[in-house]
Amino acid sequence: MVDVAKLRQIAPPRRPFSIRSLPGFTAIAIVCFVLLYAPLLPLVVYSFNAGTSLAFWEGFSLRWYVAAWENDSVQDATILSLIIAVTAAVTATTLATMAALGTTRTKPYKGLTAIYAMINQPLMVPEIVTAVALLILFASIKAATNYHGLAYLIAAHTAFCIPFAYLPIRARLEGMDLSLETAAADLYATPWRTFRRVTLPLLWPGILAGAMLAFVISLDDVVITEFVKSAGQDTLPTYMLGQLRRAITPEVNAISSVLLAVSVVMVTIFFFLNRRMR
Amino acid sequence: MAKAKAIGAAAARQHGSVGDVAAVTAANVTKTFGSGDDGVVALDDVSVSIRQNEFFTLLGPSGCGKTTLLRLIAGFELPTQGDILLEGEPIGHLPPYQRPVNTVFQSYALFPHMTVSENIGFGLQMLGKPQAEVASEVERMLALVRMEALAKRRVDQLSGGQQQRVALARALAPHPKVLLLDEPLSALDLKLRKEMQIELKHLQGETGITFIFVTHDQEEALTMSDRVAVMDNGKILQVGPPREIYDHPADRFVANFIGETNFLTAELTSLSKSGGRVKLPSGKTVAVTLADGEFSEGQVTVVIRPEHARLTKAKSKTTLTGVLRNIVYIGTDTHYHLRLPGDTPFIVRTQNQRDTQESYQQGDELGIEISANAVQVLRD
């Protein structure tokens, strides 16, 4: 008979490798989460402050939410932000979907890697460089055409949103079983109908993810917007930046808290949508 | 291209049975992947004709080209040279959605965002059939594969065997002229696989559709097929009914790939129209059958199936003699591993009877009797 107890002493049963067993794992994880989320807490708490201070608690009140809601500048900036974000997200997602199909549903061709790099370039180039470049380009166009409308901001936002929309869509396409499209073709579906009936329905979660990401990215952009905007075109972030130069009140906290709530709600909706469509 | 078509048409006429044209003909088909030095030849000048209403199996190890041939017939690949003919019409250049041919995929490839019924009706819908006709045909297919109760289920809620049936129904619903099956049973467990083998054969009879089945499982091929094509290295080595492939393998690869067999070197001493005689290493001379091809007297390789040999203790008069090395009991049979003079291995298989004692021992020198007509000369 084999003495199991003795055997265990010599060679303890081997546990599969787990990163959680490394020393310090828990501590590092906690520090990261605290750094990420702790600053948000006072922001949200002081948005409910009855006083004007960001440091002394003077009781609970919704006055800053009311103030922000009744502030015409905030209303205008919100509407502008939404118009730009929705237009830019829809345009960028459409272009990104076409780009993702063009880079995954074709036979690999020469220069494909270069195209990947070019699509993702806005992630790499410092935003301030793009902002200055656009400022110079648009300034000359503005001078030549005398057009000072929203198109500049929408074009700029669309451009930097494309890679954010592209990445989840491409990931979804690459994870999709190619034999599904082969099967559709085998069952008499033309390439267009294969796309409409099989590829697109299965791609929806990726497209939605891309669109939401693009929307959020556009919504909180400051640098490029600040450089490109014409006079009077304030989005919510550039308006808030402007406020910081003056006396700062919990009204900014209130606006920030609403933006935070919007993004949390969007991520949650997306999470459940994605789970249902799987 | 034009030349290939002409050859193909001729081949279709030549190979088809009298009065009707072959269901599918591959005419001198070559398929190369990549080009230059990196190019891989997947199919090397393959010609074969598959008859109407036939259960035809492409059998071979992985990488032999069997799946490539199937994909060429389906239209997922285009031939580098040669052409594919469907009922005599060249279709090698048509996209898959214009070929009246459907496929059951190895991974099933069911559409995950559709129900069982929607999957089955997809092909008919794409053909533009009216709703009522699609619905009634879907009903008929559900009944055919006994899946009526699960019509409204999503496909990811089905078991492997059920998905298999849906894939089959989806491919049969548009009434293709030819059904292509790409190792569809390989993901099923043994018992289910055996059931599906019988069911597939039954379905083929019932629908009257030509089935082209790809597998690497020789037993599966022998069980279901009307004819089998054994493939290796991008070439078809032998085509014939299962019994012919098993009893009269043409070359070493076919003999080895299908079932177990014994190889012996012998000398062909005389030739006649139907066969010949060979002198075995033991000095005894026996009658043999010959594979297709040209033969001349001299050294040849012969094969003898283990079940066509018997052991006996009287070794003076038998065709071969050997020393018993190993006895392997496998339930239905016992395998006796022997060594002939010259250290050639030889296996004899005996069906077990109940309550019989093992009468041989390791180290015994035994005689081996060979059944009449059991020796086959190979082509190589």
CB contact under 8 A, A184 and B122: yes
Residues in chain A: 278
* Interface membership of B347 toward A (CB under 8 Å): no
pLDDT (0 to 100) of residue A7: 61
Report the residue of A179, A181, A182, A188 to disrupt the B interface, i.e. the one with the largest count of B CBs within 10 Å: A188
Q: Are strands B210-215 and B178-182 parallel, antiparallel or unpaired?
A: parallel
Sequence-ordered alpha helix ranges (H) in chain B = 2-15, 66-74, 116-126, 131-144, 160-172, 190-207, 218-224, 242-247, 252-257
Q: Which residue of A has its CA nearest to B110?
A: A180
Residues B180-208: b if buried by 16+ CB within 10 A, e if exposed: bbbbbbeebeeebbeebbebbbebbeeee
User: What per-residue confidence (pLDDT) applies to B38?
Assistant: 77
Q: Which of A107, A176, A187, A273 to mutate to probe the B interface, most B CBs <10 Å?
A: A187
| Confidence check: pLDDT of A278 > 60 | no
**What is the per-residue pLDDT for B102?**
96
Q: Which helix (H) or strand (E) holds B334?
A: strand B333-339
Chain B closest-CA separation from residue A112 CA (Å): 18
pLDDT (tens digit per residue) in B268-283:
998 887 788 999 888 8
pLDDT of residue B16: 42
CATH number for the domain formed by residue range(s) A72-277 = 1.10.3720.10
Do B95 and A185 lie within an 8 Å CB cutoff?
yes
pLDDT at position A111 is 85
* Residue B309 clears pLDDT 80, i.e. is over it: yes
B123 touches chain A (CB under 8 A): yes
pLDDT digits (tens, 9 = 90+) for A38-56: 989 988 999 998 888 888 8
What's the pLDDT at A3? 65
Which residues 142-201 in chain A show a CB within 8 A of chain B?
A: 177, 179-180, 182-190, 193, 197-198, 201
Q: What is the pLDDT of residue A9?
A: 66
Residue with tokens 């550039």: A238
Q: Judge whether B107 is closer than 8 Å to chain A, CB to CB.
A: yes
Question: What integer pLDDT is reported at residue A11 of this predicted model?
Answer: 64
Structure confidence by residue, pLDDT tens digits, A79-92: 999 999 999 999 99
User: What mean pLDDT is predicted for residues A148-170?
Assistant: 92
Name the packing angle between helices A151-175 and A200-219 (round to 10°).
Answer: 140
| Interface probe, candidates B73, B102, B122, B141, chain A, greatest A C-beta count within 10 A | B122
> Which of B35, B111, B182 to mutate: most A Cβ within 10 Å?
B111
Residue of A nearest to B111 (CA): A180
A137 touches chain B (CB under 8 A): no
Return the residue of B nearest to A193 by Cα.
B126
Domain boundaries, chain A: 72-277
- The conformation of residue B353, written as its DSSP 8-state character, comes to -
**Angle of CA points B244, B71, A106, to nearest 5°:** 165
Of A177, A188, A202, the CB nearest to B109: A177
What is the residue type of B170?
R
C-alpha to C-alpha distance for A256 and A64, rounded to whole angstroms: 11
Q: Which residue of B has its CA nearest to A200?
A: B113
Q: Mean pLDDT lowest for which of A238-247, B65-74, B101-110?
A: A238-247
* Cβ contacts of B177 on chain A, cutoff 8 Å: none
Average pLDDT over residues B29-50: 89
User: Residue B11's pLDDT is what?
Assistant: 45
End-to-end CA distance of chain B: 33
User: Is the predicted pLDDT of residue B12 greater than 50, yes or no?
Assistant: no
> Chain B closest CA to A188's CA: distance in Å?
4
* Alpha-carbon distances, residue B210 vs A48, B8, B222 (angstroms): 76, 19, 17
Facing residue for B97 by CB, picked from A177, A185, A201: A185
Is residue B109 less than 8 Å (CB to CB) from chain A? yes
Once rounded to an integer, what is the mean pLDDT over residues A256-265?
Answer: 89
Q: Touching check for B34 and chain A: CB below 8 Å?
A: no
Q: Which one of A177, A185, A201 has the shortest CB-CB distance to B113?
A: A201
Percent of chain A with pLDDT over 70: 92
| Low-confidence winner among A11-15, B148-152, B209-213 (lowest mean pLDDT) | A11-15
Q: Is B94 on the interface with A (CB under 8 A)?
A: no
Instruction: For chains A and B, count residue pairs whose Cβ atoms are closer than 8 Å.
Output: 59
**Measured between CB atoms, does B190 come within 8 Å of chain A?**
no
Residue type, B61: P
Chain B residues within an 8 Å CB radius of A200: none
Of the candidates A187, A189, A193, which has its C-beta nearest B102's C-beta? A187
Residue B108 has a pLDDT of 92
Question: Which residue carries 């796309």 as its tokens?
Answer: A195
pLDDT above 70 (res A103): yes
Q: Report residue B7's pLDDT band, with 50, 70 and 90 as the boundaries.
A: very low
Alpha carbon distance A14, A34 (integer Å)? 34
Interface test with B, best of A186, A202, A274 (most B CBs within 10 A): A186
C-alpha angle A276-A218-A205 in degrees, rounded to nearest 5: 15
